[in-house]
Structure 1
């Protein structure tokens, strides 16, 4: 395998665990066998899992967080270890439920080597059972955010996004430059992380990616997705499965808008009303959906 110029750089991977013990152990051990990965930091985000005696591999370092302050804060524990202590030049964030091979890391590293202004990178991806899913995030607008609080406009938006993004990535010559990439699996240049003070910890969960993408854009950097390799996000997301996710996602969106937009009172009122009404719609659909499925879960 052609290792390109990546031989001169150190590469680290963060795996953030929250009650996904078996997946985390399996992924960490698999990645530890990759020649192109120098260090792996497994961070348990104050979950109920115990990893005592699980990691004997020299590459794997385990840290138990004392509290769960969210996705970014948990990943920052591992990122700071890899960047500050192990002096990694680039770092990768991987959810426990992603699948990727060594060539994926190599190709991403080679792309970083060739493009100095590229600071965040991911690859074409598939969902569970190789399902077609969205490939990146566009920076949100108020109009789209309001519409996407409701099921029918949101469903139409998602179908169109999936189709257009997958067509664009398939037709691209190697790379597509985008606004932001999904947080399930991505590579970040360490120099950029240090410039922004690592990941922003003001968002607990969801929406971290677009915040990070805006930080890159404000500094004049690029974000990309390559199609020469892929990964699988082996996660099943059922419709109306998580009311908390719906609410947290919209609260994160509000944090993003406060930082990067200057909306007036009427615009904020419209967004907040849409979130409340959309949450009510989602909750009713959630209850009905689970009753029809025979679960009746809350």
Structure 2
């Protein structure tokens, strides 16, 4: 085991049935200008042989970076899988952590500004990148806003061409788990991400709780990442039917768990039903495939929030 210094960053990547994406992401990390990092590649029990193939690639010398491979043995979801690697890196003494989606490609300078922001201001707990739609100059994420009355989240700048309009470091409501850096002390004050969300809102919940503990959350546009949006859930225009379940249920759970005012819980409950109605209409108006599965998951979400 390598000796971990205060400058070292644990880069944590979660793989699930995505050999090509993960391979490209890892290769992009070879060009990082920040030299002090180690990759923890954690796999959520992939069924396509991707994890074994990536390990073989590493043993064959195809990656010019150091990687620790971790197999969870089951699909623990986004928070669960990442938490396994975070705990291991924490145990090894890492001071800085960078969660990175496996369907991303990073610019060579992507890590340096994140670390510098954390080093220069000890009150900053979480930092995040400017994220583009892969292969374009179109913004996917330039910081996040969250409505704590409804649970609705919004990516600042989404689908806008980047002409420098979001080039200032700024404090935001949340950073997406697609590219999220944080310091060790956040874990010691806030704890880990809640794993029962499984998909969506786990990092939003974690960001908001961190802010409630006094940590600042900063968007750092000098860090740039390119994202193959929603690759693991069917693509942005053809999301898997189960996405509706987690979107409806978890938005309500997020407000209920992070907000003390009962009125906010009530408005979030109402908004969940509004969101379910919109998704229901969309199934028929847009003639989506797998109609019965989509309707079933919408129904299950409403049953879950009613418990």
**TM tier, smaller:** 0.7 to 0.9
Residues 71, 143 of structure 1: alpha-carbon distance in 2 compared, 3 angstrom cutoff: closer
Pairing 1:200–2:194 present: yes
2:66 — aligned with what? Answer: 59
In 1, Cα distance between the equivalents of 2:243 and 2:181? 25
Residues 276, 256 of structure 1: alpha-carbon distance in 2 compared, 3 angstrom cutoff: same
Pairing 1:96–2:96 present: no
CA deviation after TM superposition for structure 1 residue 255, in Å:
1.2
Aligned residues: 272
In angstroms, what is the RMSD of aligned CA positions? 3.0
1:114 — aligned with what? Answer: 120
Aligned to 1:66, the other structure's residue is in SS state coil
- Per-residue CA deviation, residues 115-174 of structure 1 (Å, 9 max, x unaligned), is 1111111121211332332423212243574xx9xxxxxxxx88x86379978x73554x
Q: Is the 8 A contact 2:11 2:98 kept in 1?
A: yes
Q: Is the 8 A contact 2:28 2:108 kept in 1?
A: no
Residues 38, 163 of structure 1: alpha-carbon distance in 2 compared, 3 angstrom cutoff: closer
Residues 93, 283 of structure 1: alpha-carbon distance in 2 compared, 3 angstrom cutoff: same
Alignment map for 1:4-153 (pairs within 5 Å): 8-32=6-30, 34=32, 36-50=35-49, 51-52=51-52, 53-56=56-59, 59-85=66-92, 87-130=93-136, 131-142=138-149, 145=152
- Per-residue CA deviation, residues 189-235 of structure 1 (Å, 9 max, x unaligned), is 11212322222212110112210111111110111111223111122
TM-score (norm 1): 0.79
Aligned to 1:226, the other structure's residue is in SS state strand
In 1, Cα distance between the equivalents of 2:158 and 2:112? 27
1:241 — aligned with what? Answer: 239
In 1, Cα distance between the equivalents of 2:141 and 2:109? 22
CA deviation after TM superposition for structure 1 residue 259, in Å:
0.8
Residues 77, 107 of structure 1: alpha-carbon distance in 2 compared, 3 angstrom cutoff: same
Q: Greater helix percent: which structure?
A: 1
Aligned to 1:73, the other structure's residue is in SS state helix
Aligned to 2:41, the other structure's residue is in SS state strand
2:165 is aligned, of 144, 149, 170, to 170
CA deviation after TM superposition for structure 1 residue 39, in Å:
1.3
Provide structure 1 residue ranges, at least 5 long, that are not aligned to the other structure: 1-6, 149-156, 292-296
CA deviation after TM superposition for structure 1 residue 266, in Å:
5.6
In 2, Cα distance between the equivalents of 1:103 and 1:266? 44
CA deviation after TM superposition for structure 1 residue 109, in Å:
0.9
Which stretch shows the higher mean deviation, 90-99 or 236-245? Answer: 236-245
1:270 — aligned with what? Answer: 270
Structure of higher RCO (CA pairs closer than 8 Å, 6+ residues apart) = 1
In 1, Cα distance between the equivalents of 2:245 and 2:167? 35
CA deviation after TM superposition for structure 1 residue 103, in Å:
1.4
In 2, Cα distance between the equivalents of 1:121 and 1:68? 27
Which stretch shows the higher mean deviation, 93-102 or 27-36? Answer: 27-36
